[in-house]
Amino acid sequence: MGPFLRPSRLKAASALAVRTPVCVLGAGPHGLAAVLHLKRADPELAAKTVVVDQSGRWMATWDSQFARLGIDVLRSPSVHHPSPDVGALSSFVTQHGFARSGLPYDPPVAKAFSAFVQHLIKQAKLPNPLAVRPNRVTAEADGTGVRIETFGPQIVADRLVVAANPRHKLIPSWAQHLQGSAENAGQNQAQANRQGEIAHSDDVNLGALSDLAGQRIVVVGGGLTAVHLATGAAGRGATVDLIARRELQVRSFDTDPGWLGPKYLSEFEACTNPQQRFELAKQARGGGTIPQWMHEQLSQSRVTVHEATQVLEATSVPDGYCLGLTSGESIRANRVWLATGTTPHLGSLQCCEPLLPNITTIGGLPITDDHLRVGACPVHVMGRLATHTLGPAAGNLWGARHAARRIAQAIAGIAVE
């Protein structure tokens, strides 16, 4: 049998608790990095690992996001990816004749990255994740493991790796009172795509909107997601206004490269005050930014950009909304898309609520040790939840590899190089 317990075996044993040394929640790039590093460190341990993701397949949420927003090129350079081998993606692109983006720092095109990830999965002989939704996670009475109750089999794991991306949507106060707000629209993505709706960017499927001619769309936000939505809508024929609360910030990456090495991390790691670490990471990430090549694409598009401008109020009107701006202008729009970001929060992962009383958090982020373990429970976290240890780039592809390396060493006792 290949690595990891096969879903077919789990289904057959659904009436019993399945025992596993490691359970990974989430099958995105962070979860994939975790299992690939575990496999490198200890193949026998990896062969008994269970991966849980409601979609039942690897990278489903990632692929959906890229399709929804029409993203053709990643922002991260080619050296950042889930594989333990730093040069694997660049070599794959060359060997298989994929086009390169030609942009600074060699960010891969989305098609090449997707093909590379599928190559990793096939090469490692990873089965599909268990397609069930976790319901409740509790610590074992003796403190040696965790019990994951799912809408399916029950899983008892010696270690749990949370590789999901629990977060809260940030909804501006002026939008919260509106009927059909982003919070309500999130219950039904199709509703968020209807004319006359206001929606958070997580709930907008730009890929399903082929023709927006005759519509006026307002995108609120100044980061990369906002620009993808604005330029994508304009390319589909819409009249688009982009409203950013500050002047657009042009930066190659969402965090300064100094945060990927000792330049800034040395001082961060030397700080022993969790609250100060939280503030340092928050300040480093700042607000939304866009790379130079995306700024140029925005400049060449038919998007009206309102910089250093905020929405003061919004009222419902026939077929949409009327927005009052700090500039004194009023804009009527058929759709309003809120690219106002999200904030990571462990409490957003409802299945982990029973563990929260035993975990210290600051601003929703758990305090983690050097191995990304939280509290006394045998639970490790990845992604933005690992910010306390890895810094502001924890949620990026760089963070996926570094988190996976630490966790694999903690679980298998073997350093992955």
- Determine phi and psi for 17, rounding to 5 degrees: -80, 130
Instruction: Copy the structure tokens of residue 374.
Output: 């939280």
Helices (H), 355-412: 387-390, 397-412
Please report the pLDDT score of residue 143 as a whole number.
73
How far apart CA 115 and CA 266 sit, in angstroms, is 36
Name the pTM for this structure: 0.92
Please report the pLDDT score of residue 400 as a whole number.
98
How far apart CA 218 and CA 271 sit, in angstroms, is 42
Instruction: Copy the structure tokens of residue 348.
Output: 């957003």
CA quadruple 387, 392, 397, 403: dihedral sign = negative
Question: What mean pLDDT is predicted for residues 405-409?
Answer: 97
How far apart CA 126 and CA 318 sit, in angstroms, is 51
Q: Looking at this protein, which amino acid is placed at residue 285?
A: R
Alpha carbon 143 to its chain centroid, in Å, reads: 30
371-382: b (≥16 Cβ within 10 Å) or e: ebbbbebbbbbb
Please report the pLDDT score of residue 161 as a whole number.
98
Please report the pLDDT score of residue 14 as a whole number.
44
Q: For residue range 330-383, what is the model confidence (pLDDT) as tens digits?
A: 999 999 999 999 999 999 999 999 999 989 999 999 999 999 999 888 999 999
How far apart CA 251 and CA 361 sit, in angstroms, is 30
Residue 90's SS3 state is: helix
Task: Please provide the DSSP assignment of 152-167 as one string.
Answer: S-EEEEEEEEE-S--E
Question: What mean pLDDT is predicted for residues 221-231?
Answer: 97
Q: Nearest CA to 284 among 251, 317, 312, 313?
A: 251
Contact, 175 vs 192, CB < 8 A?
Answer: no
Question: What mean pLDDT is predicted for residues 233-252?
Answer: 97
Question: What mean pLDDT is predicted for residues 395-400?
Answer: 97
How far apart CA 417 and CA 414 sit, in angstroms, is 9
Residue 240's SS3 state is: strand
Task: Give the dihedral of Cα atoms 383, 388, 389, 393; nearest 10 deg.
Answer: 50
Residues in CB range of 48: below 8 A, 6 or more apart = 4, 5, 20, 21, 22
Q: For residue range 61-96, what is the model confidence (pLDDT) as tens digits?
A: 999 999 999 999 999 999 999 999 999 999 999 999
Model confidence at 1: pLDDT above 50: no
Please report the pLDDT score of residue 416 as a whole number.
86
Question: What mean pLDDT is predicted for residues 266-271?
Answer: 96
Residue 223's SS3 state is: coil
How far apart CA 270 and CA 266 sit, in angstroms, is 6
Please report the pLDDT score of residue 195 as a whole number.
57
Residue 121's SS3 state is: helix
Question: What mean pLDDT is predicted for residues 92-113?
Answer: 96
How far apart CA 335 and CA 204 sit, in angstroms, is 11
How far apart CA 383 and CA 392 sit, in angstroms, is 10
Q: For residue range 129-175, what is the model confidence (pLDDT) as tens digits?
A: 999 999 999 988 777 899 999 998 999 999 999 999 999 999 999 99
Q: Nearest CA to 195 among 176, 207, 183, 213?
A: 213
Task: Please provide the DSSP assignment of 37-56 as one string.
Answer: HHHHH-HHHHHT-EEE-TTS
pLDDT bin (cut points 50, 70, 90) of residue 120 is very high
Contact, 108 vs 116, CB < 8 A?
Answer: yes
Beta bridge partners of 168: 343
Q: For residue range 2-53, what is the model confidence (pLDDT) as tens digits?
A: 344 444 444 444 456 889 999 999 999 999 999 999 999 999 999 999 999 9
Please report the pLDDT score of residue 142 as a whole number.
73
Contact, 113 vs 89, CB < 8 A?
Answer: yes
How many percent of the chain have pLDDT more than 70?
Answer: 92
How far apart CA 198 and CA 210 sit, in angstroms, is 19
Task: Please provide the DSSP assignment of 304-357 as one string.
Answer: EEETT--EEEEEEETTEEEEEETTS-EEEESEEEE---EEE-GGGSGGGGGGGG
Question: What mean pLDDT is predicted for residues 185-202?
Answer: 66
Model confidence at 323: pLDDT above 80: yes
Tally of CB atoms within 10 A around 7: 19
Instruction: Copy the structure tokens of residue 304.
Output: 């009206």
Direct distance between the N- and C-terminal alpha carbons of the chain, in angstroms, rounded to an integer: 26
Please report the pLDDT score of residue 375 as a whole number.
85
Please report the pLDDT score of residue 193 as a whole number.
60
Please report the pLDDT score of residue 387 as a whole number.
97
How far apart CA 205 and CA 65 sit, in angstroms, is 8
Please report the pLDDT score of residue 157 as a whole number.
96
Average pLDDT, the chain: 91
Task: Go through the chain and tell me how many residues it has.
Answer: 417
Contact, 384 vs 394, CB < 8 A?
Answer: yes
